[in-house]
Structure 1
Amino acid sequence: MDVVVTGGTGRLGRVLVPSLQAAGHQVRQVSRRGTGPGGVRADLATGRDLATAVRGAEVVVHAATDPRGNPWQVDVAGTRRLVQALDRDRLRHLVHVSIVGVDRVPWNYYRAKFAAEQVALASGLPVTIVRITQWHDFVDDMLGTARRGPVLIVPMGWSAAPVDVGEAAGFLTEVVAGAPSGGEVVEFGGPEDLSAADLAHAWVAAREPSVRVVATPLPGRLSAAFREGGVLPGPQAARGRVTYAEHLRS
């Protein structure tokens, strides 16, 4: 099929595009710069070149996001611009990539991601919402940022189920080939639910063995949501196989 991937040069897009190509699809990767093989330039924040970039698409995997900028402009308004630009007579499937917990965690970025889901669902297009847990690399980055000299401080009671980005790309490739789920949300997560302390101890042992891990309680609604398993996939979620420990060894 003719597949468009928004956010094609992002962490997921760089792995997803070759996975889709290996499955036999013709793939256009859309980004603001339009770089890379099959790269097409378009800007979700303004709508510039968007209609041209997605013209004739049979499937769109919407993976573009802006967690460090303005997600309400890129994720929410950008999703609205995207669904308006699509050819409704040709489109078979819109796969909207989101994050596990956007409906439970009171964080501005997650609220924007959840609002973007509602835009996709309200479009009347054949949609599948796929929520995925955090990448292994993202956990690495967060732990590296939290380190303060010889000490790594992590929130007490927080838990996550980090996932291998390659396995997530493989799962999305399967979703592309399937029928749209309509209003049913599909989840994909890593094989293990781990506490922040467990993740930190594994990371320290592999990367910084002289660092000491300290778990400390954090107040507030955001912390409570993480303690209550807000970013853990549900019992019906599909799970990957690559553990965080295996990621660290590789």
Structure 2
Amino acid sequence: MDVLVTGGTGRLGQRLVGPLREAGHGVKQMSRRGTGPGGVRGDLSSGFDLRAALAGAELVVHAASDPQGDPWQVDVAGTRRLVEAVDRDRLRHLVYVSIVGVDRIPYGYYRAKFAAEQVLLASGLPVTLLRVTQFHDFVDFLLDSARKGPVLPVPMGWRVQPVDVGDVAQHVVDVVGRPATGGVVEYGGPEELAVADLARAWAAARAPGAHVVATPVPGKLGSAFRDGAAVPAGGEKGRRTYAEHLQH
């Protein structure tokens, strides 16, 4: 089928193209600049070129997001623009890539992702909300950013289940080919880990000599992560462990 991937130049979007083509689909990657092979221009924040980018799409993988900028403009209002621009006569399935815990973790970006989910649920389109956990390389980035010289402070008692971006890409291809669920499905890595254990494994592989210090995080955010809000309640799991990721 004809597939459009929003956020086509992002961490996941780039990894989706190969598996989708191997599954026999024609793929267009939508981004603001429309660069790369199969690239088309479309701007969720303004609506510019959206209708042209979505023309003929039978499957849409909505992976675009703006966590560093204004997610209410891109993720929420942009999703509303996407819903208005889609070819309803052609569309068979829209898969939205969201995050495990957006409904439970009190964090501004997560609230925006949850609001975008509600836009899609109210749209009348054949949708599946695919909530995934944090990618392995994003965990690396967070830990590297948190390190202060020889000290690596991490939240005490937080639980996560990081996942390989390649595993997610393959799972998205599987989900796209299934009937729309009209609701939420979850996907995480193969094992649940304490953030402190994750940090020790990362430090041993990437920052020898760094000393991990687990620090209590008060408030509702810390409580949510300690209670497992970032861990899937069910759903399928990836295969590649964080330890395997660190070996490369």
Instruction: Give the alignment's TM-score, normalised by structure 1.
Output: 0.98
What is the CA distance between 1:182 and its match in structure 2? 1.2
Once the two structures are superposed, the pairs formed by residues 48-197 of structure 1 within 5 Å of their partners are: 48-183=48-183, 185-197=184-196
Aligned counterparts of 1:208 and 1:88: Cα–Cα separation in 2: 51
- Determine whether 1:214 maps to 2:213: yes
Aligned counterparts of 1:197 and 1:248: Cα–Cα separation in 2: 15
What is the CA distance between 1:231 and its match in structure 2? 0.5
How many correspondences in the alignment? 248
Q: Which runs of 5+ in 1 are unaligned?
A: none
Aligned counterparts of 1:78 and 1:223: Cα–Cα separation in 2: 30
Percent pairwise identity: 68
The code of the aligned residue for 1:43 comes to D
Q: Which runs of 5+ in 2 are unaligned?
A: none
What is the CA distance between 1:56 and its match in structure 2? 0.8
What is the CA distance between 1:176 and its match in structure 2? 0.9
Aligned counterparts of 2:3 and 2:42: Cα–Cα separation in 1: 15
Aligned counterparts of 1:129 and 1:156: Cα–Cα separation in 2: 30
Query: Could you tell me which of 231, 239, 242 is aligned with 2:240?
Result: 242
Once the two structures are superposed, the pairs formed by residues 9-28 of structure 1 within 5 Å of their partners are: 9-28=9-28
The code of the aligned residue for 1:216 comes to T
The code of the aligned residue for 2:185 comes to V
What is the CA distance between 1:220 and its match in structure 2? 1.1
| 1:8 aligned residue | 8
Aligned counterparts of 2:125 and 2:226: Cα–Cα separation in 1: 36
What is the CA distance between 1:22 and its match in structure 2? 1.1
What is the CA distance between 1:209 and its match in structure 2? 1.5
Question: What CA RMSD, in Å, does the superposition of the two structures yield over aligned residues?
Answer: 0.6
What is the CA distance between 1:237 and its match in structure 2? 1.5
SS at match of 2:3: strand
